[in-house]
Structure 1
């Protein structure tokens, strides 16, 4: 029994060491300057409200750090953030950039990004969830812990003791590691309100709440065109008109499950696949054939 426990401990700490090495390798690869990271944020299509809030947040944190360096009084605010809104609105992308920016301005020691869901935090047996959360926190320290659909932790709020155990441990970590850990929770707006109401001390750990609005049809079109351009594809003028009409209709008829950028990604994938099927058998295929996507490749139903 003792030998088995010893072996498990060695495997566990060996696993953590490997994770740390992998994270360090990833961080070494990311050599972007602060200005380059800010440019990456600026280049994101749409998200005007989000960019403004992130810029304000960065300015505030930079000044607080300068005040601390000069031994001036600073407010005891946390770095933790809450992102709300529909899927496909850029929450994960912005979270990654924020982590690297915080590293560049000296708020985080590593700036790496760890994304988890309910299954990564909650164990199947009583008492093990706290250990699982601690392991995730240990992995994320120095960087960003991103919890998407965070409300799923407490979705069975009347019977889920595992969820409550997870939330208790997470709330403690938000305070204990506030100086070198950013936790960003994200999800649909209304369920996230219930999530924060589920634990009295949870909401107080978050100072900044950012709403990610749905994209407009013109922004979705721009996202698609950018994806094509970055991969050496061009949309024909007729296809652009058809897609514009399709996107306008999707936006006007959207519901709470509107997929935003994910929908555009699906359209792009379908276009590229249909284009490949069309040109694969062309004799003496030209460069234009291989890059031009036409209305023949757009098979989505347009009513």
Structure 2
């Protein structure tokens, strides 16, 4: 992203300022605070410190430093603001239902998941029509639980569902907010409920997706903050059921424990969707898709070696197999090996064909 580009340049500029002004790592610390938290106070201190140090130094060598540093900081803050606006526009944009249906259908595998989502959309479309005709609507909640191992597309499907619900008029905004334990639990007594309420207010009108939801209650016997968070969340599930979809996700067994941790929690969820592990053919298809999107080409020999590598991982997998994430990590390793191979052969001109082609030798060796 463009803000990452300016972040790197700003960090380099801070390092240069510290060296020239002899300020240890004061400027680096301020920039770290600014780029991590977008801290207004740190930004003001950065400007102030530049002025102070320049007054002390006031030489021809440092004459351009203040203006260059300020321009970089302005560029970084501005790019972050623009990206934030773009994210909001993406979240709240109106996507037509047929386009969203196509996006869902295009996902590799997940046939049972797709059918369940399609059934839910059809059901809720009819409920919307009943309301328009003056008929009573169902009392069924929109909240959902996605169960299964990591890397099975739960977050991707959750995003699509949110946009679908917006498309058929169930949600007013359609934004997608991801949350974890740290977003739901505060560090001090009495602050957790406030933190949950703020998160709910951000998510109202859209989807709140809580991955590894069982982590909220992972210290069940000692974690009063987790219980406080869950109590507030359970209340919100009912209070805002008409314009908020909460989707909780995680391992099947651990999610069962999560639902048992609070009386009445499970009854707030009507839809339980199980995401199965991918088959070997589906994992290979995911790899092909990643290559296509990344402008890499592969031949049959390459695909066969990838298939053997993935089959080996499937054969030795345990209950925590990471599915699509295994494929993504493999792809990253392969492209790293390709880069090293190409740079070893520096006598060759690195044309487009060489840059895009992945070879069987790029596939990492299996560790026995």
TM-score normalized by the length of structure 2? 0.75
Describe how 1:1-303 pairs up with structure 2 within 5 A.
24-27=88-91, 30-280=93-343, 281-301=346-366
How many angstroms does 1:243 deviate by?
Answer: 1.2
In the alignment, which residue of structure 1 is the partner of 2:68?
none
Q: CA RMSD in A?
A: 1.8
Deviations for 1:96-131, whole angstroms, at most 9, x for unmatched residues? 000001000000001010000001110111111000
Of 52-61 and 292-301, the range deviating more from structure 2: 292-301
How many angstroms does 1:249 deviate by?
Answer: 2.1
Of 288-297 and 276-285, the range deviating more from structure 2: 276-285
In the alignment, which residue of structure 1 is the partner of 2:15?
none
How many angstroms does 1:66 deviate by?
Answer: 0.7
CA separation of 1:31 and 1:103: change in aligned 2, threshold 3 A: closer
For structure 2, list consecutive stretches of 5 or more residues without a partner in the other structure. Answer: 1-39, 41-80
How many angstroms does 1:20 deviate by?
Answer: 9.7
Deviations for 1:139-193, whole angstroms, at most 9, x for unmatched residues? 1000000000000001111111101100000000000000100000000000000
Give the secondary-structure state (helix, strand or coil) at the position aligned to 2:171. coil
Do 1:34 and 1:101's aligned partners in 2 also have CA atoms closer than 8 Å? yes
Do 1:122 and 1:132's aligned partners in 2 also have CA atoms closer than 8 Å? yes
In the alignment, which residue of structure 2 is the partner of 1:4?
none
Of 267-276 and 134-143, the range deviating more from structure 2: 267-276
> Aligned partners of 1:21, 1:279: CA distance in 2, in Å?
39
How many angstroms does 1:21 deviate by?
Answer: 6.2
In the alignment, which residue of structure 2 is the partner of 1:6?
none
How many angstroms does 1:252 deviate by?
Answer: 2.5
Bigger radius of gyration among the two: 2
How many angstroms does 1:26 deviate by?
Answer: 3.0
> Aligned partners of 2:219, 2:198: CA distance in 1, in Å?
23
TM-score normalized by the length of structure 1? 0.90
Give the secondary-structure state (helix, strand or coil) at the position aligned to 1:235. coil
CA separation of 1:282 and 1:184: change in aligned 2, threshold 3 A: farther
Do 2:91 and 2:176's aligned partners in 1 also have CA atoms closer than 8 Å? no
Aligned residues: 286
Give the secondary-structure state (helix, strand or coil) at the position aligned to 1:84. strand
Do 1:20 and 1:139's aligned partners in 2 also have CA atoms closer than 8 Å? no
Do 1:23 and 1:112's aligned partners in 2 also have CA atoms closer than 8 Å? no
Deviations for 1:243-288, whole angstroms, at most 9, x for unmatched residues? 1112122222211110100000001111111111211325222322
